[in-house]
Structure 1
């Protein structure tokens, strides 16, 4: 068994697509209209047939309280692996990305947490 699809609830799918592709570096995999929303997924360019991330609309009534609580408590909704947290932090900071946690070493991992501009905190991590 392996993970095929994961999702992150976003306030605006088009804005999320720009952020997740232009800033984070993912590539669009599927963009299928579904009424007012879309089945919109991105993947890592390093693994185009790997796990897809669904940029899911935040329309369900339970989503906003969930997202708000996570952000208020500083909890990332998901985590993405990078080769060098400090280099990614520097690159994204130059692009204007807001971080809620600067790079921090925690034993065998280094992490940082960023705001995805769509209502979520995202952790980037590198394991030594």
Structure 2
């Protein structure tokens, strides 16, 4: 092999490595999730996709992507690694009054609601631990 051939091979490997790293960085910061069901109608419809930015800055009124709770045990047994994603709206943050009960949301938790009253949310499973919220939705498709 000539030196120009080696240069081409090395350049190709470097470009492939940079592309792989770019994809990894994008996946670290952003998440694309498909909305399933009617729980977020009319804001989001079944089949729509949402782009969420991974963040810990969550405010009341934000639409967030969260790890779904265990159907029987609730948020206590949910894990980000195994659970499917839910898309819900933050109705109250830590220390704010929970809708319906009026009691304060515990520290480090959020009260999540569906826009459509038929959806499952914190009314059934209680306040969601903040570590299960993956990010905030910034755009829908």
TM-score range, shorter chain: 0.3 to 0.5
Whose strand proportion is higher, 1 or 2? 1
- Give the structure-2-normalised TM-score: 0.30
- Give the structure-1-normalised TM-score: 0.32
